Amino acid sequence: MTDEQQRPGDRTDDVDRGAPQPQGWSRSGGPSRAQSRRLDPTTFPASGAWRPGDPVGDRQHVKIGTLELEGGGQLPGVQVAYESWGTLNDRRDNAVLVLHALTGDSHVTGEAGPGHPTAGWWSEMVGPGAPIDTDRYYVVAPNVVGGCQGSTGPSSLAPDGAPWGSAFPIITVRDQVAAEIELSRSLGITSWALVVGASMGGLRALEWTLLGPEAGIEVESAAIIASAAQTPGDQIAWAHPQLTAIHADPRFRGGDYYDAADGDGPHVGLGIARSIAHTTYRSAIEFDERFGRIPQGGDDPMHGGRFAVQSYLDHHASKLARRFDANSYVVLTESMLTHDLGRDRGGVTTALQSIRSRVLVVGVDTDRLFLPAESERIAREVPRAEPVRLLRSAYGHDGFLIEFDQLGPIVGEFLAGVHKRR
């Protein structure tokens, strides 16, 4: 439902214009046809999840015990993976929490390497001298519970010693935040100067403004970027074929595929889901101006070849199928579908009006996943929200991962204002 690892470099080198096919893809025999594109069954692990024994990289882990779930039941033995940068000061009032979106993880900034298949997804925003300055702030980024990069999720071992798989329970955004609250306590943090999240991370950042104070952890300010207070029907509709594609893949095996051989996992279903989702991450303006009706390389669509935009979607499907986990994609997408800040709080308006944190709201003018109207709703109802800021971008929802020349100053100035008001 949301793209979380797109970086500026992907804008120019992610289409195989006349180049060899993207690694991990092949065509079946016979006439070349776009419909025959399939994942090479020899190159992909059954799951791209991080597993114990894999390189740890920059991850740290905290065990928080049993998590009581909003929908009933428990998730035992929960572990939260996180990364951190900077130093917590003596007053413990310079902590910033960064929350990733659907297919992101805790590797916000830093190079790719052992344990981290991709470089940091927000390196332009977090680091020494960056808008979220790690020379000044102690920055923490957890991997969400239900994810697949070190925190407890479907690929983790259940109490019986086997991966959770299909037995992993339904979790909500509030459950995820409850786990992050326990992480905060483990780190000795009783106040966040800023909780910032975009897309799915923005859902959690909003919940933090209410659940944090209830748990005794102050949220001085929050930045909600390209997100919403309640998942609208349009998003639920877009998610439906994504989830159906994964469930329909015979190699999904109902969610129990972790012992499958390389190439025998649900890569096709996950890739299709990613292709559908990526269509919502970018804009019609970009697709038309960047690709239009251009054929891919020497392909002829009149004779079974692909258009360039199809190659582009294939490329991103391949990338995600190699590095992510199908079960986590399902679990996290379903957590987004149930997101409703107003549930059991008297409705969305009442919930938003009860937020006491200072709030920055940023939308993207061409976003067709989280419409700008959703950002405007938050800014209108939260008492201490600043007027909504809109990124002007041809890249749609992914603008929050690309338009750093606009987003950086907005977030940096907001955070500096928080610091000055102390």
- The residues that are catalytic are 199, 367, 397
Per-residue buried b or exposed e for 57-92, using 16+ beta carbons within 10 Å of the residue's own CB: bbbeebebeebebbeeeebeebbbbbbbbbebeeee
CB 62 within 8 A of CB 186: yes
Nearest to 46 by CA among 348, 252, 272: 252
Rounded distance, CA 41 to CA 59, Å?
Answer: 30
DSSP assignment string, 30-70: SS--GGG-EE-TTT--S-----BTB--TT-EEEEEEEEE-T
Rounded-to-integer distance, Cα 68 and Cα 61, Å:
20
CA nearest to 291, candidates 16, 24, 98, 85: 16
In 173-213 the beta strands, taken as DSSP E runs, fall at 191-192, 194-198
d(C-alpha 131, C-alpha 128), whole Å: 9
- Look at residues 191, 204, 210, 198 and name the one whose alpha carbon lies nearest to residue 126: 198
249 φ, ψ to 5°? -70, 120
Alpha helices, DSSP H, located in 282-385: 284-286, 308-323, 326-337, 348-353, 372-381
Check whether 274 is labelled as a binding-site residue: yes
> Amino acid letter at 394?
A
For residue 129, which of 416, 348, 332, 345 has the smallest C-alpha distance? 416
Would you list which residues are annotated within the binding site for substrate?
274, 398
**Residue ranges of the binding site:** 274, 398
